[in-house]
A and B are shown apart, each in its own frame.
Chain A
Amino acid sequence: MSAPNLDALRRGESAAWDQAFAWLWPAVFAVAKLKLQPFLPDEIEDVAIESLEALVEKVRDVKSVEELKPLAASIAHHRAVSLLRERFAQKRGEGKTDSLDATTEDGDAKHDPASQDSPLDALAEKELAERLQKSLGALKPPLGDVLTDFFLHGWRYEDIARKHGIAVGSVGVYLKRGLETLRRIWGAREDS
């Protein structure tokens, strides 16, 4: 799936937007799913559609079509977080929107560490999109995969080295470089 033509999108050409929706959908759906799957799985598709609706007017503001995907992801992220806060506030009583650890529909206690004090949630929509685009571009292979394999998948140095065809002693180097890259991009607010 290729990116659509930005000028055609700005002109509102339906074929270009058909292409854009197909191109952007997996990203907005996946981002919404990240936040909502444990708590509000029935809302994932609706949040994804609303995110694309909100994206339409933003096409005037972007400089390149490549900015659209991180921007759409950022919109989906914020909408999903807002929906979670809104729903949990309703459950807990009016005005209580400070925390997202909550109970699920069936009453089981659940805790979402990614939703509490998240540095991502504190970023404005545009800033989150910009940082996302930067870090996607900065984590050259295999940096991103090495970080994911170690921190998310719980793989050991030896397994990561085997998977990526690198020396065991190099895994730490990649991890360090990857962490430094993310810290540089995400570690501090631009206005701080």
Chain B
Amino acid sequence: MNDERFFDLAMKVIARQCTDAEGVEFDALLAGRPGLKAEFERLQADARLVREVAPLHAAVDATQPEFPAYARERLQAQVRRTLGGTSTTKRRGWNWRWAFGVAGAAAVILAMLSVFNPSKPVTQVAMLDIPGGIRGADTNQMELVRQRWKDARVFSNADEFAAWERQQPLGRADFAKIIYDRAAAEVRVAGRAGGKSFSKIIPVEKDLAITLDEAVAFVREQFGR
């Protein structure tokens, strides 16, 4: 009996692949050489390790699924908060730190979550209004939004806003999120329809109402409505 034979038999025993004859052979081998029992136990531990590490290896090498577009803004916001990031696209003087009230600056961010199901669409609206800022300064814009979505929620804390954001998409497979970033003068749209992610950034060039109409139209287009 050589080491290779012992190893192969041990592997088959561990993987429950051995025949009756191989099982008998292996038991006899262990009984005849007690030192092999410790080696067998070590191989069993190795096998347990493989069963934990190999799936992790496969996971790290995974190439699917596609990154969901709706998560982009949340993660980019984290980048800006942590690294003070820079945008490589034209942002028209936008500064996220300013938007979150750093250095006494103020911001009002409006977020609207529209969740659709095939039978009945649901719309949730939320606003982030950082204290100490220009709350209510641009009442026309706020009023415009209120008129359109009267149930809008108001957040005065960026963390609470982020927590609210984390609750999405509320178990729905298809959803859309529209964020009016007043400081950036843009409306951002992201979501998923029919298993595919979508996103769009629409600058508020002249009129917020027109921009919001464009955003809603884009969402409806994604859902074929």
Contacts and interface: CB of A to CB of B under 8 A. Distances in A.
Nearest to A28: B59
A139 interface: yes
B35 interface: no
The secondary structure that dominates the A interface is: helix
Interface residues of B, number: 48
Given A18-B72, A179-B50, A132 B60 contact: yes
B59 A30 contact: yes
A176 B66 CA distance: 36
B193 to A, nearest CB: 16
A25 B66 contact: yes
A178 B82 CA distance: 40
The secondary structure that dominates the B interface is: helix
Contacts of A151: 15, 47, 50-51, 54
Contact of B71 (A21, A139, A144): A21
Contacts of A25: 65-68
Contacts of B57: 132, 135-136, 139, 144, 148
Contacts of B54: 144, 147-148, 151-152
Contacts, number: 156
B79 A14 contact: yes
A38 interface: no
Given A25-B67, A42-B171, A15 B46 contact: no
Interface in B1-23: 4, 7-8, 11, 15, 17
A39 interface: no
B68 A45 contact: yes
A26 B65 contact: yes
Contact of A152 (B51, B80, B171): B51
B166 interface: yes
Contact of B7 (A21, A119, A176): A176
A179 B46 contact: yes
A183 interface: yes
- List the 9 shortest-distance A-B pairs measured between CB atoms, nearest first: A12-B85, A12-B83, A30-B59, A25-B67, A15-B88, A30-B62, A26-B62, A179-B46, A22-B67
A34 B62 CA distance: 12
Contacts of B46: 179, 182-183
Contacts of B88: 13-16
A113 B51 CA distance: 10
Contact of B79 (A45, A56, A154): A56
B53 A27 contact: no
Nearest to A152: B54
